[in-house]
Structure 1
């Protein structure tokens, strides 16, 4: 068969398999098999540019098949966003091809590290930051393997998946030692993960209520709020606060929700176009007093352009203990929840807004990210979404209470708040992103210098005169 047809077929199949790894299918083994197909195609590529083209095809198909709902949000401009997602795999292909031939073990390790670096770069690109569909999120349904996130985090899972795919690509060439070694590591990780799942979370039980409603009507949400819950979370943007009336509005809200015995976390925003736009959450005591406030850390690209992100999240002291707050898109990133955990948070409260008009696929993909934050931090996550999925998640990533897409009501459950130690990832995870970005930058520099050397050789080839003179 024509080698070009084989390469492009592998790349296309890889893009389709990557989509299969995520909701609504959630076939998590595809997160390893898809990179294997792509890397098999890249190894057969004749040039780095061709390897980059194969990566671009796989990346575009992956994004288009996984996120057709972007058309509901951005219309025809969705194709541009799918193309943006293709840039990372394209760069990955170019860089990795240049490392081929420098040793199989180096190539396998570089595949994992460069993919993680590519995802981290996409999540930190100014104005376009987006961690959506990072490969590690595909392991949310794989309970035992998911527990590795408590040590290596989201990008560590992504790196492990792609390194596993690289080892399988080598095995297809008869080089089976890397695949065998990584299979042993995966087996150990699975066994240790099962043991971690058997350990029951410990701590003081706290009753939690997650109010799910997309009316933006505070009186309606106040009527839905259970008075007996110790922690109540409302969705994002539900309280529209007029400019210059912050204190009066909060007092009004305290009156509407009087009679509560616990802490209330309210998603709010300013509605005065003349004032700076603010997206924040109030944390209110049982008497309506303001205990603290969290301002959204990560604005959504193209949607919250007026919003200035808050870069220093801190837990709010409450009668329940320190409560960490993340607002919607904040929870998609690993940095905010990790910082809050390192600063003593005992639970993460998450006001969230996903409009029902975006459809169930968008909701299921967004909901699939939250378990990673619970495992990374070792904290319970209480997420109240406007139209689903509202979820209470334990520190092992298991959903203990849920209200699904387009439902209206209250999801109730019990969280266990403990003063337990930090997960390894909370302690050292701050190193992961800088190191992966540094590795990516080093590979880019190596590729650039290599290309310059090759160009200089073509422009000024060695003279054969010296050879003739010696002979």
Structure 2
């Protein structure tokens, strides 16, 4: 028979995980992230190592199962594997917290750091990371999201965990420690508000084109020419004069070089007609096993400009990791994609008459360092051409908008997100979404946006300082929790001298 106390603990772990799930888009109830972390800390406070691991893993399952539900339609086995794997990351984070320490402050030192390391690991491994349903996304529209300007999105994760620990400390009536943690986060937020965010060097009139069409469709079910024509039609909604027009990712799908296909001449004529810089997402079939995914520029005179080929590809979407091994096990007719995208090698930037454009194609916007690469190479505005038309529900699309908000705050740049069926969006350097389309509608988002220069602190230092700080805090917590700290403290404590003691009495 299951111990009722253990059952209650597991139920609390489920509730804590559901709080974290509800805090991220599309739900976005961001204060629940703090409550979820506080509940997690209470679950770890007196738990043995096995209980810490089990409770934390259950929390992770309750977090990722609903927050990554969209993946069921893409790959049901992959959904199960991803949820279980990332839940184990949280389980390991629970083990990394000294739960049975008699000093609560030791646990509170470790918990934010361990949680941050689990999120950092999820954004890195395996297959380059899967940074979906992250804690930082939950704060993209909340006050703490501004901390990304200083310590990147991973710093936002750390701050959320500190607030959760502060709530737990207040629950334990450790008011001084709880208040100190809240004051530290407030100070960090104030630093982010006044920290450098770049400066405006000019303005352009920009238009984001969304061709519209049904959501939840696969490329194999769609005529590429229909998608292209819908975007040509939608571009008629652009008001001239316009300096920059942005089309979504891979809405031009051709075999062979784009220059050998009729779409090249049509796009050239469109750019010349609008007298604008046109940035278009294309895929080019190279051969039976490879293709390219790129953003290319058409100049106002109709000639071709620069191109950027996507660097960070979607695993199992744009390439199959360990393809030869998997095909030897499941066969070549297993449903795996037959072609792999060729990864780009050039900086994520396009030099155009409209300005120097940083580019993060689709999946790349979820990664701090991809947007950072473009800005460090001179990007004055950040483009995110994407394509989420094949995804079920709106979880990925809303989380992508949240990622665009975080990248805007991190880099101090406007972000133009273009999607064929939604969501397309325009985001300010402070992370405010000033325009956003609906799903499946045909629309153009157009307004004056600023070209900006100068680096934020986050752009300069990147995410690694918070990662290494977290490693240090976990190590310190375990040192404090062990006898090494106690023995060192006893050695440093001054010994009392005994004076005027008489001779010892002999025993009779």
TM-score computed with the length of structure 1 as normaliser: 0.85
Q: Deviations over 1:414-460 (max 9, x none)?
A: 211133x21111111253376268559969999xx99xxxxxxxxxx
Give the Cα separation in 2 of the matches to 1:344 and 1:128. 25
Aligned-partner Cα distance in 2 for 1:126–1:8: 28
**Correspondence for 2:446:** 412
The question of whether the paired residues in 1 share the 8 Å contact of 2:254 and 2:283 is answered with yes
* Contact preservation (8 Å) 1:48, 1:95: no
Q: Are residues 262 and 436 of structure 1, via their aligned partners in 2, closer, same or farther at CA, if it must alter by over 3 Å?
A: farther
Q: Cα distance, 1:239 vs. partner?
A: 0.9
Instruction: Tell me if the contact between 1:153 and 1:425 (Cα under 8 Å) persists in the aligned partners.
Output: yes
In 2, Cα distance between the equivalents of 1:193 and 1:402? 26
How far does residue 195 in structure 1 lie from its aligned partner after superposition?
A: 6.9
CA distance in 1, matches of 2:199, 2:145: 16
Mapping of 1:10-409 within 5 angstroms? 10-45=12-47, 47-75=48-76, 77-97=78-98, 101=101, 104-127=104-127, 129-142=129-142, 144-189=143-188, 202-213=200-211, 216=224, 217-225=227-235, 226=238, 228-244=241-257, 246=259, 248=261, 250-274=264-288, 276-305=290-319, 306-310=340-344, 312-355=346-389, 357-409=391-443
The 1:112–1:68 alpha-carbon spacing in structure 2 relative to 1, beyond 3 Å, is same
Q: How many residues align?
A: 443
Answer yes or no: is the 8 Å Cα contact 1:233–1:265 preserved in 2.
Answer: yes
Structure 2 segments unaligned to the other structure (5+ residues): 214-223, 320-339, 484-508
Cα separation, partners in 2 of 1:274 and 1:325, compared to 1, 3 Å: same
Separation in 2, partners of 1:251, 1:150: 42
Question: How far is 1:191 from its partner?
Answer: 5.3
For 1:140-184, what per-residue CA distance to the aligned partner results, in whole angstroms no more than 9, with x for missing partners? 121x32221100110001011112222322333332322111222
Task: Single out whichever of 184-193 and 275-284 deviates more from structure 2.
Answer: 184-193
CA contact (8 A) 1:235 1:384 kept: yes
Map 1:428-443 onto structure 2 (within 5 A).
Answer: 428-432=461-465, 435=468
Question: Which deviates further from its counterpart, 12-21 or 164-173?
Answer: 164-173
- Please give the alpha-carbon distance, in whole angstroms, between the structure 1 residues aligned to 2:249 and 2:477: 40
CA drift at 1:403: 1.0
Change (3 A) 1:171 1:310: farther
Aligned to 1:323, what secondary structure does the other structure show?
Answer: strand
SS of the equivalent of 2:41 reads helix
Contact in 2 for aligned 1:10/1:37 (Cα 8 Å): yes
Specify the structure having the higher radius of gyration (Cα).
Answer: 2
After superposition, the C-alpha distances for 1:75-133 in whole angstroms (9 at most, x for unaligned) are: 354222221221211110111136x5285444323222222221121111142620112
Single out whichever of 163-172 and 387-396 deviates more from structure 2: 163-172
- 2-structure distance, mates of 1:340, 1:70: 29
After alignment, is 430-439 or 174-183 more displaced?
430-439
Deviation at 1:291, TM superposition (A): 2.3
Work out the CA distance in 1 between the residues paired with 2:275 and 2:349: 20
Q: Tell me what 2:456 maps to.
A: 423
CA distance in 1, matches of 2:386, 2:477: 37
Distance 1:440 1:194 in 2: 26
For the 8 Å contact 1:114–1:439, the answer to whether it is kept is no
Deviation at 1:189, TM superposition (A): 4.8
Tell me how far apart the structure 2 counterparts of residues 93 and 378 of structure 1 sit (CA, whole Å). Answer: 35
Contact 2:123–2:131 (Cα < 8 Å) also in 1:
yes
The 1:443/1:57 distance shift into structure 2, 3 A limit, reads farther
Contact 2:114/2:474 (<8 A) preserved = no
1:386 Cα deviation from its structure 2 partner: 1.6
Distance change in 2, residues 1:290/1:442 (3 Å): farther
Following superposition, the deviation at residue 13 of structure 1 comes to 0.9
Deviation of the 1:355 alpha carbon: 1.3
| Cα distance change of structure 1 residues 253 and 172 upon mapping to structure 2, 3 Å threshold | same
For residues 419 and 10 of structure 2, the distance between their equivalents in structure 1, rounded to whole angstroms, comes to 41
Larger displacement relative to structure 2 (188-197 or 286-295): 188-197
Structure with the bigger RCO (C-alpha within 8 Å, sep 6+) is 2
In structure 1, how many angstroms separate the alpha carbons of the residues matched to 2:471 and 2:292?
34
Q: Any idea what SS the aligned residue of 1:303 has? A: coil
Measure the CA separation in 2 of the matches of 1:261 and 1:133: 40
Aligned mates of 1:437, 1:187 — CA distance in 2: 19
Q: TM-score, normalised by structure 2?
A: 0.79
Distance in 2 of aligned mates of 1:440 and 1:277 = 45
Partner of 2:502: none
Structure 2 vs 1, CA of residues 242 and 214 (structure 1 numbering), >3 Å: closer, same or farther?
farther
Give the Å deviation of 1:352: 0.6
